[in-house]
Structure 1
Amino acid sequence: MSYQSYQVATDGDPTNTSNLIPEGPPKVTYNDQPGALSLNPDGTTAINKPRGLNTADALPTGASGILASARTPWGSPCINGITAKDVITINGMEVSVGTAEMMGMVHKDVSGRYVETAGGVEQATAGADAENQRQEREEQLEGLADPKVEADLDDLCSAVSPSLQVAAVEEIISAGAVDTTTLNRAASEAGIEPSEMQQRLDGVLKGFEAQALKAVVGFGSDDPQGFIEWAQQHRPNDLRAAGRTQVMERSTKGYEPMVREYIASMAEHDPESVMKAEFGGGITASKVRGQVLLNIPGRGQMTYRTALKAGLIRVSGA
């Protein structure tokens, strides 16, 4: 049997320490955890249980960092501990605890409880960013039109050292052909005869040439060979740089700004083609003091380049 004790406050002399209950309604209430015991005037008692929940009690035991956000799949607090199926929020994105564990963000301690891995979030995020960048680069790579030629290129790249590949590319871009010494070394590394190496290399180069011409058409010129001739004369360094990017980075984007300039400068390097062109809409071309001007109804006269930039004319066949 357990006993409870309490002190009584009376209306009498404050120095009176008597334990006798005075006449009249008692005025006593005291805490008896976990409830409060009240003595009623008729001598009965009542226990009032405390109500309310400390929100800290709803957090997972020992949880910190990203685990402090842990919730069950249906959104309620993880009162009975965190499991692999529960959900946490990382950089605004919700993932399961099991996924975070596989990515090295959290792990189980010796007691079997999930805890955050030091630096795990940073490493996993950096790894994900690097993988996304790698995938983006792969998506940007442009393959050759002929799968057999593409496969042959892959074989040559696997058989020949990177330094020798770079040397061969630079020789082709600068002189239009691979030096005999470089060719023999490449053949030796690949374990084939120099004649076979030259034959396979010629096939790959034709593949790159066809790819470049197709890209030029895609960028707006219907005369890719005319563009190449113009670029060789007016933009030789840019043309070599675009070829280097095409082979080394597998991208034809380097040709695009040159094609746009080629079309925009048509009145300067090939004025006769502009004079003969049919623009439609009543637009005509004329030469004024050696400069080609377009007469545009409602707009007056302006240069070919200005009209093209303003979108007043469209050019095909350039």
Structure 2
Amino acid sequence: MDRPGAHADYSVIGTARNGWSRTPVAPHEVKDSDVVYVGGVETSVKVAASMGFIRPSAVGGYEDAGGSLGKPEATTVAPEDPDRGGEEVDMTERGGFEALEDVEARGILEEVTSVASTDDVHAAINEVVDQGGLSEKSIGRMAASMGITEEEAADKLERLNAGYTAQRNKVLEAEGIADEVADQFWHWAATMRAREGADALRKQFTNGNLDGFRGLAREFYRDALPATSPEVIVQAAEDSGMDAWVTREGRIILDIPGHGQLEYNSALNSGIIGTPRFQ
């Protein structure tokens, strides 16, 4: 059986994008840490090469293993997506990737990833995830790569981190994590879901994927908040025009127009209510 994509009618290396910022990368500049699409599936350049789809080029970077396959010149769009009727899809929609909305932060990210080594980027991500910030040594390496002073590098990296924080907070707010609930969420995540929280942060940094935070927010609303602060749920329900109360056994009951009286978790899990303001 042929490998998926072995006879693809498009250039695999033509789909190359920076592994961190997801901006298009010219074939002669492609690195192992960048990503390509094989048969519509995202994978790293290193993996694609090990599978024989691409190979190192004599002029630098990589090339298609069978030579240029020509269709399409896919530096801005991915191969056709069979799930969308053959429509060409912007590759940033794939794999859960969400670009930074902060234009300045996005520019800094592209600057950093274009000059820093893969090892330095990985080391920086691990420090932020595991220690909550960058060491002076990492800032020094980044400064040297960027050709600026350590103070300038620290300022840029701080602004980049602010962009990531804003992106993360926006996603969490959409899941109902805001105001006084946010403090409870972060305390719960740090004490009860530290590993999952670290994984979610690492995925945001490496893949632009924030689904880990969405999952944590939903778990918090489903399991943690009803046990620790049922009054918050009752108040939110009442603010939305529902009657709500806590039974002697500790169950939260909602009187939902059109559905009658339902236990909170049943209504949440069935999709009758959502976490943000129950709407």
Aligned to 2:110: 154
The 3-state SS of whatever aligns with 1:285 is strand
Check 1:139–1:295 CA distance in 2 against 1; reply closer, same or farther (3 A cut). Answer: closer
Inter-partner Cα distance in structure 2 for 1:165 and 1:262: 31
Inter-partner Cα distance in structure 2 for 1:138 and 1:170: 24
Does the Cα contact within 8 Å between 1:183 and 1:197 map onto a contact in 2?
yes
Aligned to 1:63: none
Check 1:138–1:316 CA distance in 2 against 1; reply closer, same or farther (3 A cut). Answer: closer
Aligned to 1:309: 269
Please tell me whether residue 139 in structure 1 is matched to residue 97 in structure 2.
no
Aligned to 1:173: 129
Deviation per residue, 1:255-282 (Å, 9 max, x gap): 1111111222321132221243434676
Aligned to 1:250: 208
Does the Cα contact within 8 Å between 2:237 and 2:254 map onto a contact in 1?
no
Aligned with residue 232 of structure 2, among 267, 273, 290: 273
The 3-state SS of whatever aligns with 1:288 is coil
Q: Which amino acid aligns with 1:239?
A: G
Does the Cα contact within 8 Å between 2:234 and 2:245 map onto a contact in 1?
yes
Check 1:130–1:209 CA distance in 2 against 1; reply closer, same or farther (3 A cut). Answer: closer
Q: CA deviation at 1:303?
A: 3.6
Aligned with residue 191 of structure 2, among 211, 216, 233: 233
Deviation per residue, 1:31-75 (Å, 9 max, x gap): xxxxxxxxxxxxxxxxxxxxxxxxxxxxxxxxxxxxxxxxxxxxx
Please tell me whether residue 287 in structure 1 is matched to residue 247 in structure 2.
yes
Check 1:228–1:278 CA distance in 2 against 1; reply closer, same or farther (3 A cut). Answer: same
Name which structure has the greater RCO, CA cutoff 8 Å, separation 6+.
2
Unaligned runs of 5+ in 1: 1-119
Large movers: runs of 4+ above 6 Å: 123-130, 297-301
Check 1:315–1:160 CA distance in 2 against 1; reply closer, same or farther (3 A cut). Answer: closer
Q: CA deviation at 1:196?
A: 1.2
Q: CA deviation at 1:299?
A: 7.8
Deviation per residue, 1:104-147 (Å, 9 max, x gap): xxxxxxxxxxxxxxxx9xx7899999745896543343222221
Question: Which has more radius of gyration?
Answer: 1
Q: CA deviation at 1:220?
A: 4.2
Percent identity, aligned pairs only, is 24
Does the Cα contact within 8 Å between 2:175 and 2:275 map onto a contact in 1?
no
What TM-score, normalized to structure 1? Answer: 0.52
Does the Cα contact within 8 Å between 1:242 and 1:255 map onto a contact in 2?
yes
Q: Which amino acid aligns with 2:200?
A: A
The 3-state SS of whatever aligns with 1:294 is strand
Q: How many residues are aligned here?
A: 196
Unaligned runs of 5+ in 2: 1-65, 82-87
Inter-partner Cα distance in structure 1 for 2:168 and 2:213: 8
The 3-state SS of whatever aligns with 2:252 is strand
Q: CA deviation at 1:162?
A: 1.1
The 3-state SS of whatever aligns with 1:182 is helix
What TM-score, normalized to structure 2? Answer: 0.59
Check 1:181–1:313 CA distance in 2 against 1; reply closer, same or farther (3 A cut). Answer: closer
Q: Answer 1 or 2: which has greater helix percent.
A: 2
Q: Which amino acid aligns with 1:238?
A: E
Q: Which amino acid aligns with 1:259?
A: A
Does the Cα contact within 8 Å between 1:293 and 1:301 map onto a contact in 2?
no
Q: CA deviation at 1:301?
A: 6.5
Please tell me whether residue 263 in structure 1 is matched to residue 263 in structure 2.
no
Q: Which moved more, 1:164-173 or 1:242-251?
A: 242-251
Inter-partner Cα distance in structure 1 for 2:254 and 2:173: 28
Check 1:281–1:231 CA distance in 2 against 1; reply closer, same or farther (3 A cut). Answer: same
Inter-partner Cα distance in structure 2 for 1:144 and 1:174: 22
Does the Cα contact within 8 Å between 2:234 and 2:252 map onto a contact in 1?
no
Deviation per residue, 1:8-43 (Å, 9 max, x gap): xxxxxxxxxxxxxxxxxxxxxxxxxxxxxxxxxxxx
Inter-partner Cα distance in structure 2 for 1:245 and 1:188: 26
